[in-house]
Amino acid sequence: MGPDRRTVRGVSPTFATSDPHGHLSELTAALREAGLVDAQSRWAGGAARLWVLGDLVDRGPDGLGVIALVRRLVEEAAAAGGAVLPVLGNHEVIALGMRRFGDTEVVHRGVRRTFSSIWSRNGGLASDQAGIDEELFTWLAGLPAIARDGAHLLMHSDTTSYLEWGDSVGAINDAVRATLADDDPVAWFDVLVGLGQRHEFAGSAGPLAARRMLRALGGERIVHGHSIIGDLFEERCDSYDEPRLYCDGLALDIDGGIYEGGPCLVARLSPR
């Protein structure tokens, strides 16, 4: 039985998941357990909102299947008065960069790089690449990099690098979309390197970094994926089954580490 999806004082429930990495069956099962899809994997969340914080592809067997599920749920949720809201992850940038630039060698910050080498080192699948046509490329490249939903600031990566692209949610999204609509590989690598940063809200300096983000962009708590809970807190990935609140309560990590044997997590953000 999934959670009660009734509104509380007119507030629809909000959920978030992240980093499915091509694990379609695990993502579907987690959404079903949360009461957001039915036995046929159709939207059952009513007016609920579900944020999907990136890394749909790579490392797992069916990135295209994950994308297809998310895109279908976007339409079904909207028709039911809810919303499914995907956000850009660093693996989307890797996959798109592979598609656009491939083996093209680029000198970026004094280092010679190719998207193909980064893609192959980070679990890129030829089957995923084969399905990225121009329409899907445009859809993925147009995803927002960051979002606000009430008190929550939602992003893929646990980094302050987003502030390099703007001082508001809208400005950041405009800047990243403009880069991914262009053919400058150096600017693409700037985005990829920025989204590849992690662990900036951990440790004694973490609250300062988190407050800097929240002060600039709004919200009271950061919700992110990208950094696996087990890696961030030096725990076995099969030792936990819930998102992890940390950083003086300012950050919530929802990446269970599915490709390392961890759970696919669906966090209920509000109302609690």
pLDDT digits (tens, 9 = 90+) for 193-224: 999 999 999 999 999 999 999 999 999 999 99
Residue-level length of the chain? 272
Which of 185, 173, 22, 20 is closest to 99 using CA atoms?
185
CA atoms of 48 and 210, how far apart (whole Å)? 27
Domain 14-270's class?
Answer: alpha beta
> How many angstroms separate the CA atoms of 147 and 140, rounded?
16
Give Cβ neighbours of residue 12 (< 8 Å, ≥ 6 apart). 46, 47, 48, 49, 82
Number of alpha carbons in the 13 Å side-chain half-sphere of residue 49:
17
pLDDT band at 10; cut points 50, 70, 90: low
- Confidence (pLDDT) at 131: 96
From CA 171, how far away is CA 111, in angstroms rounded? 28
How is the chain split into domains, by residue range?
14-270
pLDDT tens, position by position, 129-139: 999 999 999 99
pLDDT tens digits along 57-66: 999 999 999 9
